[in-house]
Amino acid sequence: MSGRERTVQQRDPLAAMVGRPTAYLAAGSMTLYAGFMTWVNRDDIMTPALAVVAVALVVAAAVVLCVASSPLRAPLGSRTLVVVVAATLLAYLTSALSMWTTDSYIRDDWGPATIGIFIVAFAPYRPAKELAMAGVFAAIFAGVVALAQSSSFVTALPSGAFVVVAITPILALSIAAAAFVDVLIRSLDRWRVRSKRAFSVMSDESGAAIARSVQQDSVTILNQEVVPFFTELLDGETVTEATRQRARQISDAVRALMIADVDRTWLDAVVDHAARMSGTAPAVSTVVRDDHRLAEHMSPDERTALRALIVAIHSHCAAQPFAATVDITGDGVRCEVVVFISSGNPHSSLRADLAPYLAVLRVVFGDLQVEHDPADLTLRFSYEQR
């Protein structure tokens, strides 16, 4: 994920989901605030139509923010930030024009605070640099509007004072949001470095454990099948056709088991473990088709996201019949993954229940496509071989 943007949503998708209520709170509260302050300043408004348009622009910005911050639309791009900030700046300008020569107090203008709060709402989704740049640009715009309006204010202060009052909420909120994001991203990056070190140590230990497990399985097979056969063979006087047939069967069984162990990937182990934890049968519940062992080329982040999805699928479907397949195919340097889940229940809520995991997949893989009907769910995404 090092090549991705330095955003909370792309470093920690679940944290961005937890922070989504902030977007709703900002959208709802600023809409109410703009409407309330417009009503309070109704005596200063000379062009009511422009005042209504200003509030409508705030509503539009709120709707865009709420829709774009949906986990199923992740990651939220810079275009959304530009659209929302532009809409709020235009709303501030329109509100100022509605009382251009009659605005008595700049402290009653709702524009600067609204712009600043909307920028704060983008903290989980955009990099610190973009938040700071948006705040600086918006502050310059608000300062120009305040300076142009300064002749109508009744307070006897230099024009620069009005500019300071207009830009302070925007700069304070946007810079605070940028600083928060920067500190959080640095903290997450440090945690990722430490976790990779721990993962390397655990991988070495896990490899030794797997080797011991394979050795124990081999010894078990030998004790259960091969040793008794050789004992009987040594105790017998002649080798019959039945003896040869049994030897071939044991040889084929051992060979098939060895091949299966060689072809086995971490994904197969995840499926088996999830099935055991949920009490479902792996052969019936989930099937992995990865003939070329392409799952081994996933990055740690991609493995973690897919592993979490499989565990969630088994947990969700443990109480009802279901079938799931994971197909991985190669296309040049990219690998295509298709995950198909069929619950057999037309009233199933698969998509809603798996929404947090789909949000993570969309951020990690970037090209997630979701096809959904009441009983089935199909996911398509790809990754580069590493």
- Collapsing DSSP to helix, strand or coil, 149 comes out as helix
Decide if 89 contacts 42 (C-beta within 8 A). Answer: no
Show me where the domains of the chain are located.
8-194, 265-386
The CA distances from residue 151 to 112, 154, 297, 325, in Å, are: 19, 8, 66, 70
DSSP 43: G
User: What b-and-e string marks burial along 282-304, b requiring 16 or more CB atoms within 10 Å of the CB?
Assistant: beebbebebeeebbebbeebbbe
pLDDT, position 179: 94
pLDDT, position 120: 94
Query: Please, what CATH class does the domain formed by 265-386 belong to?
Result: alpha beta
Report the C-alpha gap between 320 and 278 in whole angstroms. 11
| Tokens (6 digits) for 151 | 């002749």
User: What is the radius of gyration, based on Cα positions, of the chain?
Assistant: 31
pLDDT, position 279: 59
Nearest alpha carbon to residue 9 among 85, 68, 56: 68
Report the C-alpha gap between 57 and 89 in whole angstroms. 9
pTM, to two decimals: 0.68
* pLDDT per residue of the chain (386 residues) written in tens, 0 to 9: 445 678 888 877 777 777 788 889 999 999 999 999 999 888 888 899 999 999 999 999 999 999 998 877 778 889 999 999 999 999 999 999 988 887 777 777 899 999 999 999 999 899 999 999 999 999 999 999 988 887 777 677 787 888 898 899 999 999 999 999 999 888 877 876 776 665 555 555 555 555 555 556 556 666 666 667 667 666 665 666 676 777 777 766 666 555 555 556 778 777 777 776 665 544 346 788 887 878 888 887 788 888 888 888 877 665 566 778 888 888 778 888 998 888 766 666 677 777 778 888 888 887 888 888 777 888 888 888 77
Residue 200: Cβ-neighbour burial (10 angstroms; 0-12, 13-18, 19+): exposed
- Collapsing DSSP to helix, strand or coil, 280 comes out as coil
Place of tokens 């945690």: 191
Decide if 253 contacts 245 (C-beta within 8 A). Answer: no
pLDDT, position 144: 92
- Collapsing DSSP to helix, strand or coil, 162 comes out as helix
Separation of CA 141 from chain center: 33
pLDDT, position 177: 93
